Structures are given as C-alpha cells and as structure tokens.
Structure 1
Amino acid sequence: MKHYEVTRHAVDRAVERLGISRPQAAGHIRNLMQTAFYVGDLSNEHGHRTKAFDHIKSRTRLIVDGIRVVTVYKMADPLAPVEDSPTASTPLITELPDELKTVLKRKSDVLIVRHKRELRSLTIQLAEKNLEIAQLELNRAKARAHKIIAVIGAKITVARSEYASINEKANAIKSEIESIEKGVAAYV
C-alpha cells in the first residue's frame, strides 16, 4: 500500500467540494487513493506534469504530484478523458468503434433483462408478503385472547422483517440496473 501525502490545499478542497469534515479529510483522501485508477497525465500552464486519478465509485478526481495529493474535485462524468498535452506519446481513446458499441449495448441489454426478471419476481414476493401481513393484521383484529394476539403479533414482526429483506434486494437490483444504464450511456 503506497503512502500519499495530502497537501493543505487538497484538504481545503475536500472540505469545500466533497463535504468532508476537516479532521477526516486527509484520511478520506488517502483512502480514495488506495482504490483510485490512474487515467493520465496533466500539464499546467508552466509545463509541470501531474498525474490524474479517478475514484469511480465516489466520482472524485484526484491530482497527484509524485506522492503528494495536490487537489481533489467531483467529476461531472466519471468516464471523461483527461485533457492531455499534444506531446504525449500515447493518445487517449475518446470514441469506441461501432462494433464495440453494438456488443456493449447488446450485453448490457441482456444484463438489464435478467435483472428486470429478478426484480419482477421480487415485486411479486413483496405483494404476497403485503397480503400475508394484511391477513395477519385482520386475524389479530378479530382475535380476543391475549395469547393469540401476541402470537399473531410475533408472526407480523417476522413477516415485516422478511418484507424489509425482500425490499432491500429489490432496491439493490434497481440501483444495479441504473448503474448499468448509466455506464453504457457513457460509451454508446
């Protein structure tokens, strides 16, 4: 694990742009650097070269000079290319060939259809669980004995926890579908 120094300017920018509290900013930046991807070199107006790293999950770009993190900012688009100087030896790919776009689109459509089927199944399970809870609520309202009311109450608690679990899975699948759609939209 490489150790990075964090400049005061980077801490100030993390507080301002990322909303991190000042005492936690340096540690947060170091954590981002551990999983950030190198995306290219940048040149400033004086010709000094720095390296750009993207932390895709948090949509944060970090500018590094050697082992010093100089500044951080939010990315408008996590897949945006780094503006490189014309003297670079390897040009950045900014456009995918049509064949790759077609394959990427087809594969993402297959994934989305699979996720939507699973989501539909979970939605049915949620509706059935709602029906079960409603039936238990009705039985509890009709019951007169305290022991029966307590037993039905316990069953309702279990059913509600199962409902929450299924709902959590459904929400995860929804966010997965959204991320696939956004990821493909950046290339297609």
Structure 2
Amino acid sequence: MKKYRVTQHACFRATERLGVTVEHASNHLNQLMQTAFYQGDLTHPDGKIRRAFDHYKSKTRLILGEDDEIITVYKFPEEEPKESPKDSHTDLFAEDVRLFIQRKFAKSEREYKRKERVLSIEIAELNLELATHQLSYAKAKSPKVRAGLSDKIAEVQAKVDRVKFELDTATKAFNEIKEKAAVYL
C-alpha cells in the first residue's frame, strides 16, 4: 500500500467535509487514495500543477501536490433535489418520452455515420479514379485518346458531384434531426 503525505490543511478539511476525526484523517485519506482514479492536472494560480483524483464510492475529490502530498479534499457537489411526489406521474411520462427520443436520435446518428462513411469512401475511390484518368490524359499525345479520356474524366466528375450532393443532403437532414432532438434532450 502506497503511503501519501497529508498536509494539516487536508486533515482539517477531511474532518470538516468528510466527518472523520482528526486522529483518523490521515489514514482515511490514504485509504481513499488506494482506490481513487486520476482525473487530470489542474493549474493553480501560483503556477504549480496539482493532480486531481476522484474516489467515486465516497464521492470525494482529492487534490495532490508535488511529491504525492494530499493538499485538500472535498465532496462532489450534491445533486438537485427530486420533485415532489405529485409531479411524479408527469415526470415519469416526460422521462419516458425523453428516453424514446434519445433512442431514436441515437439510431439516426448511427445510420448517418454509417452512410457518411460509405459515401466518403466512395468519394475517395472516385477521386482516385479521377486522378488516374487525369494523369493518363496528361501523358497522352493522341487527340483521339485525349478526347476519350476527357469523356471519362467528365463522367467520373459527375459521379463525384452526385455523391457529394448525396452526402450534403444526408448531413443537412441529420443536422435538422439533431436540432429538433436537442429541444428534448
């Protein structure tokens, strides 16, 4: 078990915010650190980097300084109080509607991403074919060959434009769904 140094400030905050006794504060904070998860670095106004760890079971955040020293500790913010019982039927219905819309939106998002991927791959393949024809056109000397290649280039470019239009249409439709769903989610 790794032992962390605990500042006097952290001990006072543990007694004040977590309800442990002063004698047990250091040991309690060390125990919390054994199962806490690293959340990221915080920059203190004095320019020093602090590391934040969350202990989810006790809903506690621990802030560490240099040399694995526990500087302070506090509880996660409390959740909003629940509505009164008289509104519970309305809330349940609203929650059901919200979950239904959320599922439908997730389904549309999956379908859109799938379609976007397929169309993007198709555009890339057509652009590759277009580049090949343009290279052949640049290398060709015969006017007859160049004329045939320019027809192929125009045909492939038309396909690219059609697929891009289809992708733009799908993106616009998905963005409309996203805006409408945002109202409920």
Which has more radius of gyration?
2
**What is the TM-score when the length of structure 1 is the normalising length?**
0.48
Q: Which has the higher helix share?
A: 2
**What is the TM-score when the length of structure 2 is the normalising length?**
0.49
